[in-house]
Amino acid sequence: MSAKLRNTLLYLLLTLFALTALIPFLWMALTSFKPLEEVEKLNPVPTVWHPENYRKVFEQISFARYYFNSLFIAAWVTFLTCLTSSMAAFAFARLQWRQCDNVFRLYLATLMIPGVVTMIPNYTLMVKLHLLDSYTGLIVPSAFSAFGTFLLRQFLLTIPSALDEAAEIDGANKWQLFWDVILPLARPGLITLALFTFMGNYGSFFWPLVMIKSEHLRTLPTGMLFFDSTYGRQTNLLMAASLMNIVPLIVLFIASQKFLVRGIQMGAVKG
């Protein structure tokens, strides 16, 4: 078999897999234009298109408010995670102190603890700090990431240590070394971490469900529960809201794909 034929078959196989992965998304998009009585039918394409389903979403729930809450919380969590993870990674990768490697291993061990296990302690802490039903209660517990620290530490290890010596000879202190030298060079890793963090927190469901009681503080995943209640499931409106929810993430991922790949590759060079 020639190399050209082999590549053609490989591309056809990958295209088939890609189309298979797109089937749920296509079903969601088509269902968002169906009337409710057609949702359970086998016909994939609506007999009559109902674009007014998207208008009904805004009429039945405060979609714009929920959308703002999701973006606001995800943006703050992303900013704080990048800040705290980069500072911790700098301490583990560029500073020399006793038991540094052991502390880092202990820090990484927290990745093996499921989030459900820490849910009750975090909730109890938020109650004692009087942060229930607030933006702060949603943001602060998610602002620290062992995975983010690990990712950025691996990336910082690829930066030559000679830069630290040159900066110190020029009179730079540790903060100036971190802020003016290391952080600009770590931009691909920061972008990668920011994308992972934003996409993970934008679709967060369980923690906002536990923390938030006020309607004006709900995020999109919890706000869309209105369409799946004891009074019935409005699947067509739920799919319309879900489509509007994930389209920005798809656009963000496509626009920043090259930074994501570069950040992962460079962060995996040295361990």
Written as tens digits, the pLDDT of the chain (271 aa) is 678 888 888 889 989 988 888 888 899 999 999 998 888 787 888 888 999 999 999 999 999 999 999 999 999 999 999 999 999 999 999 888 889 889 999 988 988 888 888 888 999 999 999 999 999 999 999 999 999 999 999 889 888 888 888 888 888 888 998 998 899 888 888 988 998 899 889 989 999 999 999 999 999 999 998 888 755 788 899 999 999 998 888 888 888 777 666 656 555 544 4
Domains contained in the chain, number: 1
Tokens of 205: 């469901």
Residue 115: the pLDDT is: 82
Residue 255: the pLDDT is: 80
89 found inside a domain: yes
Beta-bridge partner residues of 233:
228
201 found inside a domain: yes
Residue 231: the pLDDT is: 59
Tell me the C-alpha distance between 35 and 137, whole Å: 39
Tell me the C-alpha distance between 8 and 117, whole Å: 48
35 found inside a domain: no
256 found inside a domain: yes
CATH code of the domain in which 67 resides? 1.10.3720.10
Tell me the C-alpha distance between 38 and 49, whole Å: 11
186 found inside a domain: yes
Domain limits for position 198 = 62-234+244-267
**pTM of the prediction?**
0.85
46 found inside a domain: no
134 found inside a domain: yes
Tell me the C-alpha distance between 201 and 134, whole Å: 16
198 found inside a domain: yes
Count of all residues that appear for the chain in the document: 271
**CA torsion angle for 52, 57, 58, 63 (degrees, to 10)?**
-150
Residue tagged 């052991």 (tokens): 102
Question: What is the three-class DSSP state of 120?
Answer: helix
